[in-house]
């Protein structure tokens, strides 16, 4: 019998998409669904992005562009990194991908052989495990429970790096928790990283322009510039610019490593479409009014979400300071029942909330933390209010 490659058995469909699809189906059946499940920013980029695209179509070549990215885009990317507090990267240090997800896949292919170890904290973005699984890498997961605000400590990192894993993968601000590491916390982790020179570092910083409360964005290389020779920093248009479907991700890192990514691009995707490149240049170099306004918006919604969740007896929500997610510890519900329906775990809870209250959320176990669930709060304010009220009602009905 003909067999598919073994890696296809290891590849799992995204847990988030399964919930989102069920929510869509219920909506199609006419149910009044509030969808807190999928991590989309729910806004559109500024008009200047569309204008750049319209202008470009007047003389679009329709051809292939370059594997690395067109020079004007590379310049826009290095300037963008510089504005984010990461100056000094040149065209040779950067490249693009079809979203940060594909950049990460390329990085994993470039850095990990089968059986190699990759280390990252939990809660984690679901694709970290899936990409490691597909490539046959060994994922070592460092649990960061709600009691430590879902954050990795220097001591944990030090212990994990003692075995010289091939890659350490770090996400700040975090999806799914919305946690942001402070300046001191990033500096302390950087101190540990310099002690372990045999490990590559991937910093998935795609939410770095969505940070609240004035705490600012920090990266290891700002504290320890020597880490630049083995650190890759990822960014994306998806969340900051309201452009998830445009599929443009970017990365800065050491020249030889980035060259390997360009070679992978030449085999996987050839190039970013020219029209997407033009949109990206406009987004990165044009007015930042839309992302700035949205960041303010999200921080106010964060306040509403935390207030509503903390008002539920027994629910604890470490205060997110970035991205657009909240990740409350809802384990107080486990072992209780809702209208006779037993709630044993996060999966039961999310299923019951969707069936009974039509609120879609992602169970924390999808992110390696089964005590919690993820709320993506970018929907319209009226929907947000409605969804939060329904969650409160659900918990009040638990017996």
Ligand X SMILES: Cc1ncc(COP(=O)(O)O)c(C=O)c1O
Tell me the C-alpha distance between 375 and 366, whole Å. 13
249 binds ligand X (CB under 6 A): yes
- Residue 374 as a binder of ligand X (CB under 6 A): the answer is no
**Site of tokens 């994990």:** 160
Q: Which runs of consecutive H residues, i.e. helices, occur in 269-312?
A: 274-285, 289-310
Among 70, 206, 308, 391, binds ligand X (CB under 6 A): 206
Minimal distance, residue 66 CB to ligand X, in Å: 20
Nearer to ligand X, 13 or 30 (CB): 13
Q: How far apart are CA 119 and CA 165, in angstroms?
A: 7
CB of 130 to ligand X, least distance (A): 12
The alpha helices in 122-182, defined as continuous H runs, are: 126-135, 154-161
Residue nearest ligand X, Cβ-based: 99
Interaction mask 86-115, ligand X, x per CB under 6 A: -------------xxx--------------
Q: Beta strands 200-204 and 167-171: pairing type?
A: parallel
**Binding to ligand X by residue 369, rule CB under 6 A?**
no
Greatest Cα pair distance, the chain, in angstroms, is 65
Q: CB of residue 97 vs ligand X: minimum separation in angstroms?
A: 8
Whole-number Å distance between alpha carbons of 277 and 236: 12
Closest among 333, 326, 318 to 371, alpha carbons compared: 333
Within 43-82, which residues bind ligand X (CB under 6 A)?
A: none
Dist. CA 189–CA 181, nearest whole Å? 10
Candidates 171, 219, 321, 376; binder of ligand X (CB under 6 A) is: 171
How many residues make contact with ligand X (CB under 6 A)? 13
Q: Is 190 in the site for ligand X (CB under 6 A)?
A: no
204 lies in the site for ligand X, by CB under 6 A: yes
User: What residues does 376 pair with on adjacent strands?
Assistant: 325
Q: Does 208 bind ligand X (CB under 6 A)?
A: no
Residue 22 three-state SS: helix
Are 236 and 99 in contact, with CB atoms under 8 Å apart? yes
The rounded distance, in Å, linking the Cα atoms of 77 and 235 is: 9
CB 233 within 8 A of CB 217: no
Rounded to a whole number of angstroms, the minimum distance from the CB of residue 258 to ligand X is 17
Interacting residues with ligand X between 123 and 152 (CB under 6 A): 125
Single out the residue of 204, 265, 229 nearest to residue 74, CA to CA.
Answer: 265
Find the binding residues for ligand X in span 276-305 (CB under 6 A). none
Least gap, CB of 217 to ligand X (angstroms): 14
Backbone angles phi, psi at 147, to 5 degrees: -60, -25
Residues in 308-367 that interact with ligand X by CB under 6 A: none
Comparing CB distances to ligand X, the nearer of 121 and 165 is: 121
Near ligand X by CB under 6 A: residue from 244, 260, 334, 336:
244
Identity of the residue, 97 or 333, whose beta carbon is nearer to ligand X in the bound complex: 97
Nearer to ligand X, 93 or 175 (CB): 175
Tell me which residues touch ligand X (CB under 6 A). Answer: 39, 99-101, 125, 171, 175, 204, 206, 236, 238, 244, 249
């Amino acid at each position: 019998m003909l067999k598919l490659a073994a890696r296809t058995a290891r590849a799992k469909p995204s847990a988030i998409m399964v919930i989102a699809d069920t929510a869509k189906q219920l909506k199609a059946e006419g149910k009044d669904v509030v969808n807190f499940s999928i991590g989309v920013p729910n806004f559109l980029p500024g008009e200047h992005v569309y204008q750049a695209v319209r202008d470009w179509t007047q003389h679009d070549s329709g051809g292939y562009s370059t594997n690395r990215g067109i020079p004007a885009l590379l310049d826009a990317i290095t300037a963008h990194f510089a504005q984010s507090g990461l100056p000094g990267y040149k065209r040779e240090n950067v490249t693009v991908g079809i979203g940060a997800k594909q950049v990460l896949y390329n990085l994993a292919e470039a850095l990990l052989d089968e059986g190699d170890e990759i280390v990252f904290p939990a809660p984690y973005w679901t694709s970290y495990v899936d990409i490691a699984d597909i490539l046959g890498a060994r994922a070592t997961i460092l649990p960061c429970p709600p009691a430590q605000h879902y954050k990795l400590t220097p001591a944990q990192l030090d212990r994990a790096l003692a075995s010289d894993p091939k890659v350490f993968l770090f996400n700040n601000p975090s999806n799914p928790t919305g946690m942001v590491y402070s300046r001191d916390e990033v500096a302390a982790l950087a101190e540990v990283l310099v002690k372990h020179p045999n490990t590559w570092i991937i910093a998935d910083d795609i939410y770095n322009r969505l940070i609240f409360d004035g705490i600012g964005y920090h990266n290891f290389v700002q504290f320890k510039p020597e880490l630049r020779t083995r650190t890759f920093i990822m960014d994306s248009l998806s969340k900051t610019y309201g452009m998830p479907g445009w599929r443009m991700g970017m990365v800065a890192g050491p020249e030889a490593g980035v060259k390997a990514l360009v070679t992978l691009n030449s085999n996987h995707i050839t190039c970013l479409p020219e029209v997407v490149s033009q949109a990206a240049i406009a987004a990165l170099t044009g007015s930042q009014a839309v992302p700035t306004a949205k960041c303010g918006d999200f921080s106010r919604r964060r306040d509403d979400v935390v207030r509503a969740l903390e008002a539920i007896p027994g629910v604890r929500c470490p205060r997110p300071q970035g991205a657009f997610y909240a990740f409350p510890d809802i384990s107080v519900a486990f072992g209780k029942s809702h209208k006779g329906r037993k709630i044993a775990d996060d999966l039961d809870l999310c299923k019951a909330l969707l069936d009974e209250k039509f609120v879609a959320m992602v169970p924390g176990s999808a992110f390696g933390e089964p005590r919690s669930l993820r709320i993506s709060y970018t929907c319209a304010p009226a929907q947000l209010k409605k969804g939060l009220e329904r969650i409160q009602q659900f918990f009040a009905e638990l017996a």
